[in-house]
Amino acid sequence: MPSAPDHLSTTLAALSDPTRRAILARLAGGEATVTELAAPFAMSMPAVSRHLKVLEHAGLITRAREAQWRPCRISAAPLKDVAEWLAHYQRFWTESLDRLDEYLQDVQKKEKKHGHGKLRAKRRA
């Protein structure tokens, strides 16, 4: 993996702001200039630029260097890391809870068979 250890937190941090998510959603439909991105928001151009910088730092967007109007483009790679982490986290809980379910059934079966007698014997001892 070429990414730094906490690359994922940088991505999640960049995604934590509703304006930035709206910008990404807009860019998912195709590249756009800063002016075009600022249009739907009641926000100054410098404010929008700051959001774009955060997105760029997280690798979520790229900006053309050559053109004066520097169109922004969404970049999917960091989102893939988020998707992978979510999938991993989901697997952790889904399988853990499946195992908990089996454990609970198992323990109750054992208790029914001989557990109660044993427990009482232990307590008396």
Partner 1 sequence: MATGSFVPKEGHELVLTRVFDAPRELVFKAWTDPKRVAEWWGPRGFTNPVCELDVRPGGAILIHMRGPDGTVYPMTGVYQEVVEPERIVFTSAALDAAGNPMFELLTTVTFAEQGGKTKQILRARVIESTAQAAPYLAGMEAGWTQSLERLVSYVTKHAKE
Looking at the Cβ atoms of 35 and 96, the one nearer to partner 1 is 96
Whole-angstrom Cα distance, residue 27 to residue 22? 9
Which residues form the interface with partner 1 (CB under 8 A)?
A: 1, 5-6, 8-10, 12-18, 21, 24-25, 28, 54, 76, 79-80, 82-87, 89-105, 107-108
**Least CB distance from residue 57 to partner 1, whole Å?**
10
Q: Report d(CA 35, CA 92) in Å as an integer.
A: 43
| Alpha helices (runs of H) in 29-76, residue ranges in sequence order | 34-38, 45-57
The amino acid sitting at 59 is G
CB of 53 to partner 1, least distance (A): 11
6 alpha-carbon distance from chain centroid: 12
Residue 107 vs 119, nearer CB to partner 1: 107
* Least distance from partner 1 to the Cβ atom of residue 44, Å: 19
